[in-house]
Amino acid sequence: MTQSLRGFVDDFAARRRTVTVYADAPPDDLETRFRDWNVDVRFDRLPPGAGPGFVTVREGERFLGSVTLETVATLFEPPAGLLDPEPAATGALEPLLELLDDTLFRSFERRHLLAATREIEDRAWRVGEGELHVGFQRPAALSAQRTVYERLAESDLDVHVYTDVEWDEPSIPNVTAHAESDGELGQYWFVAFSPAGSDARSQACALIAWEREPGAYDGFWTYDPDRVAALVTHLRTAYGDD
């Protein structure tokens, strides 16, 4: 039986992680911003003049890594990506997203999902080969990103886009469009990059989020190549490529 997109979210068992903020003063709204994540947030004061603040991530007693406070702020104020007119911040979120790999989120706002999506698109662009599958939910969202996907299609990527109804604009050359009325495609925002070749498996990444009410999402992202491959297989099987 083909797994549904809802199944990928429902079957996921999130691992709770601890985010510790080190700074000379607690950021006003950091804990509030992380309240919709499956993480514990802690604060550890640095002495005045100790330098820029940073954030560590742990899973139980296991130290996973650290990033600057500035990087964390980027998640909530999305930067321009590589495919945008001003690409200076490309890759800024990648270290944080990898530390929070497989962390469940809830009520993520659209701009946060857009920031994570840009990181995955940028990674696909940098690698330049493999499959990129993107669920836009509605045709208007795809129309808004047409220029980005025209450029992605100039690479050797096999690009697939998904919407809840047929897109009535001229097709994008070298991009395969899929649509399904009254199905799951209108309920899920997803982006999955499966690179070509076994040597590139470490570059695999995906995000999937269920819009449980307008503008409010449950979901996760992952850098697990097997989980990414399973999602891509479902999309190909369910929408006619296999």
Number of domains within the chain = 1
- Band of pLDDT at residue 219, cut at 50, 70 and 90: confident
pLDDT average, residue stretch 11-24: 79
φ/ψ (deg, to 5) at 150 = -65, -40
- Band of pLDDT at residue 27, cut at 50, 70 and 90: confident
Predicted confidence at residue 29, as pLDDT, reads 74
- Please give the residue range of the domain that contains residue 226: 5-238
- Residue 146 DSSP symbol: H
CATH number at residue 103: 3.30.870
Lowest-pLDDT range of 30-34, 93-97, 218-222: 30-34
Predicted confidence at residue 81, as pLDDT, reads 53
More confident residue, 30 or 57: 57
> How many Å apart are CA 125 and CA 152, to the nearest integer?
6
More confident residue, 93 or 52: 52
> How many Å apart are CA 37 and CA 44, to the nearest integer?
20
240 by Cβ neighbours in 10 Å (0-12 / 13-18 / 19+) ranks as exposed
Lowest-pLDDT range of 36-40, 133-137, 141-145, 162-166: 36-40
Predicted confidence at residue 107, as pLDDT, reads 62
Nearest to 53 by CA among 36, 39, 67: 67
Neighbour tally for 216: CB within 10 Å: 15
Lowest-pLDDT range of 17-21, 30-34, 123-127, 171-175: 30-34
Whole-structure pTM value: 0.77
Query: Who's near 153: CB < 8 A, 6+ residues apart?
Result: 159, 172, 173, 174, 175
Which of left, alpha, beta for 174 (phi over 0: left; psi -120 to 50: alpha)?
A: left
More confident residue, 11 or 228: 228
Q: How far are the Cα atoms of 88, 96, 172 from residue 73, in angstroms, in the given order?
A: 16, 10, 34
CA dihedral 59→42→55→14, nearest 10 degrees, is 30
Q: What's the mean per-residue pLDDT of the chain?
A: 84
Residues in the chain: 242
Nearest to 118 by CA among 88, 138, 163: 88
For 175-197, write each residue's pLDDT tens digit.
999 999 888 999 999 999 999 97
> pLDDT > 90: what percent of the chain?
40
